[in-house]
Structure 1
Amino acid sequence: MEVDSDIDDKLSEIASFPNQRDRTTSYLDLLKSLLSSKPSPTPLIAYGRHFILSSSMATVVGRRVLGAFVAALCAGSGMDKVESLTSSDVEEGAGDEEHWERLGKAAFEGEKGAEIRKEVVDGVLSDGARGGWCDEQVTALRHLQSYLLQLEEDWVGAARVLMQIPLEGGSRLISDEEKLRVYMKIVRLCLESGESGLAQNYFSRASLLIHTTKDKETQLAYKLSQARIFDYSARFNEAAQRYHELSFDGAIDEDDRMHMLKAAVTTSILAPAGPQRSRTLASLNRDDRVITSLPAHLPTMLKKMLLEYIVRAEEVKEFEAGLEEHQRATVEGGGTVLERAVREHNVGACGKVYDNVSFDALGTILDLDSDAAEATARRMIEQGRLRAWIDQPLHLLYFESRSTHDTDAEAQGTAGGLGVEREEKDVEPVSWTERWDDRIRATSMQVEAIASTIQSRGLIAV
């Protein structure tokens, strides 16, 4: 039977049959002949597009025949069955599903079988493919196309194929579980390719549906994706906490848990210096697995960060060798994320050694000039991550006594015990100089308020 030369004529002839049963039988016989002979992409593409592009196809005929076509294409690909393609689309009047799977496996096995399968799927879904009455079958083909792209490690392409699946407002009712699975696949693929912005977009959609599932695998994928998004977004404190939580989950393979524990240690070290990071470092330091299961330089670096010892350049270099690409990103003010984290840590570590330090000496420790060292210390003071104050005329950084500050419980949040509340301001996205000026202005206003309170209480004579 010559099918390559006149496939369009045969399809048109069958479409003109008045009886739906005759049309169904003839379409399936033609599909069987295409699969039984040595398959060629061109007639199979024409066959699939004949249904997908049709706006007048009888649904009862089209869904059954296209269901058999999709089942044959998916057979032997290695992809799990897609739930959106129900078995009734193949079984009712189209023959046994296993029959089409056997034909599909036989047709696409061999040296070039996988290549032909991909060419057919790409051709059927090329520009102009629309769903409508065959949304379920098109969805199954898009899942297959995405899977085949993943085998080629084209993560972005695989994600974009899944994005074309109509999950809202289509012709079929889609469960929240299915939507969630598709969203999480897209998130995973985007993260694999480093497209953290797209991943965040679809993760937000998944967040609205995660409460609808009790599937353990989906819940774990959600938590891991959340940790990775925090990681990519440089929210290292949150990432370290999520990674550490996942490293205890017995449902995850032991090697994967150790990988997450390593990620937890790495992100905790990259996190900005401050009380929150100190708590995370302390939690990881109490985990015996950090010492027994991770490379020696990681627990060493972790302990130095926790105990606020000054970190040396050679230790930074060894740690930096294990960072991922996004963790080497440059930050405001110059330098990488790691360089900023270590510099800020070393500023805090100086507070355990010195009562005060000149900015020239601090710059030597941080491998910065004195102005950059002052800017680093000023930023940490502004953000409440360093208890210190700056004497600008003398170019000195004075560290506050922690024990005195911590035990003065009554003075917390007030100024001089007079009930003037200390206002914690969010850091605005402006230059450090503008932020510093703004803080000075706010402090001056507080001083005036305190003076007014003292005067109103008659504590001093006017």
Structure 2
Amino acid sequence: MASPDVTTQLAQLEASSNPPQRSEGYSQMLDNILSTFTSNDLSANLTAYVQSILSDSIGVIHSRPLLSSFVEKYKSISDNEVKIEAGTEIVQLLAPKIVSYEQQDTDLKFVLADAHEAEEDFTNSAKTLQTIVLDSSQGRAVTDDEKAAIWMRICRCYLEEDDPTNALSYLNKIKNVIFSVTDQAVRLQFQLSQARINDSQRNFLDASTSYLILSNEPAIDEEERLRALSAAITTAVLAPAGPTRARQLGKLYKDERAAETPEHGILEKIFLDRLLSPSEVAAFASGLADHQLAKTSDGSTVLDKAVLEHNLVAASRLYQNIPLESLGALLGVPADRAEAYAAAMIESNRLSGSIDQISELVHFFPTPAGQDPNSANAVDLTTRDLRTWDANITHLSEEVEKVSTMLQREEPRFYESVMAS
């Protein structure tokens, strides 16, 4: 509750008929309140002060500069609890009159949102920013840059609270104006938030693409770019196995900076279709976020599924066929689960092969790197073997031709004598 002395002085100021003296009196009154009262009483007295300057007896013309001056001094308050308590009450006082005080209301809410964030209350910060008027009816121009900056801040607040659903709704608002936004910082934050939302919703390939774009932004510090590249590798590893993921892994593996990241070892093994050991997977898992280790419907984690699918692809490079029991042992899962994963990958065209359930065998069909397995599904096993044989013969012939050309260039006399004989 406000101090009786403050209430009395405010009433006297409201009754004053001399606007200049009244404005000077309010200014001195605010300074006295800020210097006299402690945290326990300060909030109530500040609220009473604003209630007084908003009274009908003062008038909007004189109230606006007084409220603007109050907001400037309100910013300087060091106690965030006072800012939050007083700011919340004052925002409610302004709500019925917001049309007359749009700019002051906006400035106040920015300070209040800062106080919430300083206390790590990102949800209330976002809710405060959401109430800022962006479509002014009083001629206050709000540019696309300003709108995007506010929506971006709300989006980031929700991301800090692990609320990707609300974050996405504000990211979608930014998408409508992003092409006219000139603020480079907002554009970069937009890309980062897009990557984080895709990551949190397990759209790992989309997240990897966004992180990779960020890692090549010259406006970002080298350390941050390398961190974005690490995130791009991590999310690519977690993505479902298949040609699209293979192409993304290829881009990352060919990036010269990839060798500087902690994830380079697992990236190399996955790109080269080598089997991953449990120790390598455990080391990689230790650096993952909670949502990246969440359980799926079958009780496994996203990483477990990604590794199992990768090892299936790696096994297809080593074997033409393998018993289901042996495949399960290789993958570290029961035979029926190995069969289920193999069947799902074959059905979705992410693995080229067939399953003989009578013989309990999985047959793998060789597919050139980067080629969609679906393009080869209509070809039978005999034709595939012949194509592989033809490719090997072609490769051998090319190597013999290279050796012959080198001999002709380096040892022309020997070459001529051999050819003559």
Q: Aligning the two structures, in what range does the TM-score lie when normalised by the shorter sequence?
A: 0.7 to 0.9
Distance in 2, Cα, partners of 1:404 & 1:188 = 39
CA change 1:200–1:313 in 2 (3 A) is: same
Q: Deviations for 1:298-326, whole angstroms, at most 9, x for unmatched residues?
A: 21100111011111111110000000111
Q: Deviations for 1:83-137, whole angstroms, at most 9, x for unmatched residues?
A: xxxxxxxxxxxxxxxxxxxxxxxxx46xxx4554444324433688452312221
1:321 maps to: 286
1:210 maps to: 178
| CA positional deviation for 1:173 | 4.0
Matching of residue 124 in structure 1 with residue 90 in structure 2: yes
Distance in 1, Cα, partners of 2:174 & 2:356 = 50
Distance in 1, Cα, partners of 2:313 & 2:58 = 72
Q: Aligned partner of 2:72: which letter?
A: A
1:140 maps to: 107
- Retained in 2: the 8 A contact 1:363–1:372? yes
Distance in 1, Cα, partners of 2:306 & 2:377 = 31
Matching of residue 44 in structure 1 with residue 46 in structure 2: yes
CA change 1:412–1:351 in 2 (3 A) is: closer
Q: Deviations for 1:31-81, whole angstroms, at most 9, x for unmatched residues?
A: 2332343553321122124456x5786221121110000011113xxxxxx
2:158 maps to: 190
1:35 maps to: 34
Q: Give the alignment of 1:262-277 within 5 angstroms.
A: 262-277=230-245
Matching of residue 246 in structure 1 with residue 218 in structure 2: no
| CA positional deviation for 1:10 | 3.5
Among 305, 310, 324, which residue is 1:359 paired with? Answer: 324
Q: Aligned partner of 1:46: which letter?
A: A
Secondary structure of residue in 2 paired with 1:67? helix
2:356 maps to: 391
Distance in 2, Cα, partners of 1:282 & 1:306 = 7
1:442 maps to: none
Matching of residue 343 in structure 1 with residue 324 in structure 2: no
Q: Deviations for 1:284-342, whole angstroms, at most 9, x for unmatched residues?
A: 11122221x222xx211001110111111111100000001111112232211101100
| CA positional deviation for 1:12 | 3.8
- Retained in 1: the 8 A contact 2:47–2:89? yes
Distance in 1, Cα, partners of 2:279 & 2:326 = 20
| CA positional deviation for 1:155 | 2.2
Q: Aligned partner of 2:243: which letter?
A: P
Q: Give the alignment of 1:62-461 within 5 angstroms.
A: 62-75=63-76, 108=77, 113-125=79-91, 129-130=95-96, 131-168=98-135, 171=138, 172-291=140-259, 293-295=260-262, 298-403=263-368, 412=375
1:427 maps to: none
- Retained in 2: the 8 A contact 1:24–1:65? yes
- Retained in 2: the 8 A contact 1:49–1:129? no
2:394 maps to: none
Distance in 1, Cα, partners of 2:368 & 2:156 = 46
Distance in 1, Cα, partners of 2:169 & 2:8 = 46
Distance in 1, Cα, partners of 2:341 & 2:299 = 11
Distance in 2, Cα, partners of 1:15 & 1:404 = 81
2:23 maps to: 24
Secondary structure of residue in 2 paired with 1:249? coil
Secondary structure of residue in 2 paired with 1:389? strand
- Retained in 1: the 8 A contact 2:354–2:363? yes
RMSD after superposition: 2.9
Distance in 2, Cα, partners of 1:414 & 1:193 = 46
Distance in 1, Cα, partners of 2:74 & 2:245 = 52
Distance in 1, Cα, partners of 2:303 & 2:57 = 61
- Retained in 2: the 8 A contact 1:237–1:277? yes
- Retained in 1: the 8 A contact 2:247–2:370? no
Q: Deviations for 1:195-245, whole angstroms, at most 9, x for unmatched residues?
A: 111111110001111112112111111111111111111111121122122
- Retained in 2: the 8 A contact 1:23–1:61? no
Distance in 2, Cα, partners of 1:237 & 1:32 = 57
Secondary structure of residue in 1 paired with 2:240? coil
Secondary structure of residue in 2 paired with 1:252? coil
Distance in 2, Cα, partners of 1:195 & 1:382 = 34
CA change 1:358–1:19 in 2 (3 A) is: farther
Q: Aligned partner of 1:209: which letter?
A: V
Distance in 1, Cα, partners of 2:352 & 2:123 = 45
Which structure is higher in helix share?
2
Q: Deviations for 1:264-286, whole angstroms, at most 9, x for unmatched residues?
A: 11111111111111111111111
Secondary structure of residue in 2 paired with 1:398? strand
| CA positional deviation for 1:29 | 3.5
**Greater Cα shift, 398-407 or 7-16:** 398-407
**Greater Cα shift, 33-42 or 148-157:** 33-42
Distance in 1, Cα, partners of 2:376 & 2:14 = 81
Secondary structure of residue in 2 paired with 1:390? strand
Q: Aligned partner of 2:150: which letter?
A: V
Long gaps (5+) in structure 2: 380-421
CA change 1:23–1:330 in 2 (3 A) is: same
